[in-house]
Structure formats: structure tokens, C-alpha cells
Structure 1
Amino acid sequence: MKYLVREKAFAVGDDYWVEDEDGRHAFLVDGKALRLRDTLDVRDPEGRVLITLRGKLFGLRDAMELERDGHRLALVRRKRLSLLRNHFLVRLAEGTELDVSGRILDREFKVEYEGELLALVSRQWFRLRETYAVDVLREDADPALLVAVAVCVIRMAEKEREEG
């Protein structure tokens, strides 16, 4: 199932809808304006919070936490010991890890679990610069989590680019 993400450039609060391949609202990415640390909620169409993304305030390396129902779901960090510059590691609460690699800022990357492809993120099918697709390849995968991971690594890569 493909999910179409249309980011709004320079939007206050960074709110935007993610649609399914039939054009229906699937998730709302709800940015929290005027917060000390980077916070986003991924909501369902009825407004219920599915996953919260929070930037960590302190630490040696930039990281973002993904939470579900107030509990840590995952921690996302740049993978340091990698030949690829655009390589992130998502450590899930139960101990498994997802590997995110590719051209993050170009919105051309993949999400894998133990070498198995879970999702492809690409803007190759779209002419609009702020639009990309998250193609969830496994039926048993959590689409909200994979969309949240895509939003998270893009946000982290952009922040790193801005900081120099």
C-alpha cells in the first residue's frame, strides 16, 4: 500500500495530511508549534494520536524517540559506523532494529528489517517537490510506524543539514 506524503514548506506547526493510494486521508502529521523540542504527532483521520515523535534535548548524538500510548516505541539515530552518509538505525522497544538507508534528503531511501525490504520511500513518481510516497511492501507491517520513521529521518537529516 502506498501512502502519499505532501509536506507543506514553511507551514506554521508543520501540519500535513498523508493520503492512501486511493486519495483518502490516512494520517495527519501534526507539528507542535512553539515547543522547546521538536515534537510531531501522527494521527488517524479521527484525530487520535497513533505515534508521537520527540526530538531528544540532550545527548552526544541527535536522536528522536517514537512513542505510542506514552511508551517508547523506538529510538531513531544516525548510524555512525557506516560507509553511507545517509544511514539511520531504528531500535524498536522490543530490541529489534530497522535499517534506513539511501538518499534521505532526496526522499529516495528504503527501510529494511534483517535485510528484508519493509518500505520504499520515493518521490520519483511525482513532479511536486514536496511530495513523496511511502510504499509499505509487507501487509503485516505497521504503516503508521513506517510513515513516522520516514518523517523522522527526513526531519533529522534536514536539521543536520541546516546546522552545517
Structure 2
Amino acid sequence: MRLLIKQRVFSWADSYDIYDEQGNVRYFVKAELIALGHQLHVYDCNRNEIGMIKQKLLTFMPAFEVEVGGRTVGRIRKQFTMFRPKYEIDFNGWRVEGDFFGWDYDVYSGNSQIIHISKEFFHWGDTYVIDIANPADELMGMMLVIAIDAANCSGRD
């Protein structure tokens, strides 16, 4: 299955629309700027809040907690590296590896690649394509991409 994540360009804070392969809106994400950080609310197509990505404050490298249904289900922290971006993830037993420029990522469960994330160029705003092997990983995979983008943006602030 495939999702397309498009960042809204003309908004005051990070906002994203997420589409399925047929072009239907599946989710949208709206940021709330809090003192010194990001808080990203994730909604389904019926405008029900289903998750949140919260930036942890006062950390050396950008770090985020992922919540689903009001319960923390994982954490994502950008690691300090010289060339290849790396992220420490502590949910689902997943790990993420990115290419040299940080535009493409693979998510692994054990030795199996379960999600491939790629950035599309020549679009207004950030645009990502997510290929997901198991539909059950859709929500967490999508939230992971949003958190990685937020970590990358926080690293440039």
C-alpha cells in the first residue's frame, strides 16, 4: 500500500495532508506551536484526532514522543552523525536507516524492510511517498515520517 504526504506550504505552522493511492484524503496533520517546540495533531479523514507527535523539550538532539489514543506508544530521537541521518526509535522493534542526503529512509522490523519512505522533489513543500508492506503499519509509519520531518526541521532551527 502507498501513502502520499504533502506539506501545506502557506500555513503558519507545519500542516500535512495524507492521501491514499487513489488520491483520497486519509489523514491530515496540524501543528500547534508551543514554547520551544512542536506538537503535531493527527486526524483521520472525519476530523477525529487519532494521534499526536510531541517534541520533547531541552534535549541535545530533536526528540519526539508518539501518542495514539492518548497513550505514548513510542519515542523518536535524531542521533548525532556526521553524514547519514540516523534515528533512535523505541517502539514496535523498528529501526530506521536513511541515505547519505537524508531524502530516503527504510524502516526495518528485525532484518525485514517493512516501510520505504522517499521524498519527491519539485513540489511546493515537502512531499513524501510511503510504501508500506503491511496495512496494519499504516498509522505508525505515517506518524514516523511526520516525526522524522519535524526532527529534520528542528535540527535546522
TM-score (normalizing by structure 1): 0.82
Q: CA deviation at 1:128?
A: 2.0
Secondary structure at 2:143's aligned position in 1? helix
Structure 1 gaps of 5+ residues are none
Greater fraction strand: 2
Alignment of 1:1-164 (within 5 A): 1-9=1-9, 11-33=11-33, 35-36=34-35, 37-79=37-79, 85-92=84-91, 96-103=92-99, 106-124=102-120, 127-128=122-123, 130-139=126-135, 141-160=136-155, 162-163=156-157
Q: How high is the sequence identity, in percent, across the aligned residues? A: 19
SS at match of 1:3: strand
CA contact (8 A) 2:84 2:101 kept: no
Residue deviations 1:4-61, cap 9 Å, x none? Answer: 111123521322210000000011011114x223100111001111210000113454
SS in 2 for 1:144: helix
Q: Any idea what SS the aligned residue of 1:38 has? A: strand
Q: CA RMSD in A?
A: 2.3
- Please give the TM-score of this superposition, normalised by the length of structure 2: 0.86
Q: Distance in 1 between matches of 2:101 and 2:18?
A: 18
Displacement of 1:3 in angstroms is 0.5
CA distance in 2, matches of 1:17, 1:104: 27
Q: Deviations over 1:51-88 (max 9, x none)?
A: 100001134543100011221110101245x7863111
